Structure 1
Amino acid sequence: MSSVVTLVGNPREGSRTRTVAVAAAETLGRRIGYDDPPEVVDLAVLAPHLLAPAPSPQVEVALELVKGAGVLVVASPTYKATYTGLLKVFLDRLPGGALAGTVALPLLVMGDPRHALAVEIHLRPVLVELGALVPTPGLALAEAEIPALDDRLGPWADRVAPQVTAALGETLRQGAQA
């Protein structure tokens, strides 16, 4: 089974976005038969290194982990009706096609439900541009829903797990043919 990796684009360590993203990855991982906890790339920790003039071993390790993910949950709070600049800076370090063979699931945590489409309009396209297969609608979760997170994530994971499993199978078939 491929690894499940969570990429968290919140600039604050210990954020609610991280809590939601890890819970979503764990819940989905169990549904697709992956019992190990997801690996987490928390960009709040890497922020000082992302724009440094010298290469950063921590950033390079994070980039490799993301590129090697079988399933990648990409999470951000909603800033200015889109994902964070911190997440954009990290994703810009990936070359085109770097996420080929990766099943990506975009996730935004919103303060206002009016931003619900941002996950589809802004985050999904950049993941597709990087070559990821995004087989399901993104998850837009209002901050007000966080206290009942399990009630929201269980049905979400039940709904998307079949598509994620099918997409993983497709990426394995494509890799075998290459």
Structure 2
Amino acid sequence: MATILSVSGSPSATSRTARLLRHLDTRLAAQGHEVIPLDVRTLPPQALLHADFGHPAIAEATAQFAAADGVVIGTPVYKAAYSGLLKSLLDLLPQYALTGKTVLPLATGGTTAHVLAIDYALRPVLASMGPTHITPGWFTLDKDISVGDDGALTLAPGAAEGLAQVTDQFSAALGGRPRALLAATG
């Protein structure tokens, strides 16, 4: 199957965005894909802020993008746009780093007022990087994501259904085997 790079653009160590991505990673792996997680917040801040293209961690992230068949990009929405942390990484990638790739954009946020951030802020940047296909994205409200004391993620039914649908569309675009809509998302 395909190799997927799953990128979290959240600056928070307890991020709902990152937890949501890792939840989707499990679904994609169960469909036969190799999933490689990348939390941008773990990259060296100095390398990101000073645009150190030659830093080993930035070079490794760039190589991970190059090796991937598909890329899931997840970000919290701040001020109606994707995170600055994600932007700092995207700015360091080659201009056409997504050439030949299928991309799934995802966002989380506190209000439905930010629902269009995927299409008006993130999608144009991703499109400028040359992907073959950007599948329909999904915005999940923070209130629809809960994390139990054991770290288990629970999604509101509507969010779970929508995420399953866009994840399965992305997987199908990569040649995956989508399962029943809610079988893996609970």
- Scaled to the shorter chain, the TM-score interval is 0.7 to 0.9
CA distance in 1, matches of 2:171, 2:70: 8
**Would you tell me which structure has more strand in proportion to its own residues?**
2
Q: Which residue of 2 aligns with 1:174?
A: none
The separation in 2 between residues aligned to 1:104 and 1:135, in whole angstroms, is 5
Letter in 1 for 2:23: A
Question: Are 1:52 and 2:59 an aligned pair?
Answer: no
Q: CA deviation at 1:26?
A: 2.5
Report the CA distance shift for 1:58/1:28 in structure 2 as closer, same or farther (over 3 A).
same
| 1:158 positional shift | 3.7
Cα distance in 1, alignment partners of residues 26 and 7 from structure 2: 13
Q: TM-score, normalised by structure 1?
A: 0.81
CA distance in 2, matches of 1:62, 1:91: 10
2:163 alignment counterpart = 156
> Mind listing any 5+ residue stretches in structure 2 that lack a counterpart?
147-153, 176-186
Q: Which residue in 2 is equivalent to 1:22?
A: 22
Normalised by the length of structure 2, the TM-score is 0.78
CA distance in 2, matches of 1:159, 1:42: 21
Q: Indicate conservation of the 8 Å contact 1:13/1:45, yes or no.
A: no
The answer on whether the counterparts of 1:47 and 1:86 sit within 8 Å (CA) in structure 2 is no
Matched ranges for 1:56-95 at <5 A: 56-95=55-94
Give the superposed CA RMSD: 2.2
Give me the identity figure in percent.
33
Normalized per residue, the structure richer in helix is 1
Question: Distance between the aligned counterparts of 2:22 and 2:126, measured in 1?
Answer: 19
* 1:134/1:13 CA distance change after superposition, 3 Å: farther
Change in Cα spacing, 1:15 to 1:68, as seen in structure 2 (3 Å) is: same
**Which residue does 2:36 correspond to in 1?**
39
How many residue pairs get aligned? The number is 165
Contact 1:9 1:86 in 2 (8 A): yes
Q: CA offsets per residue over residues 2-55 of structure 1, 9 Å max, x none? A: 211111111122421110112123224434x32x4x211111111512123653
AA aligned opposite 2:22: V
Deviations 1:133-168 (A, max 9, x none): 3442211000011123274345533455245423x3
Q: Does 1:96 align with 2:103?
A: no
Equivalence for 1:127: 126
**How far apart, in 1, do the equivalents of 2:133 and 2:110 lie?**
24
| Corresponding position of 1:165 | 172
Asked if structure 2 preserves the Cα contact closer than 8 Å seen for 1:3 and 1:71, the reply is yes
**Residue type matched to 1:3 in 2?**
T
Give ranges in structure 1 of 5+ residues lacking alignment: 170-178
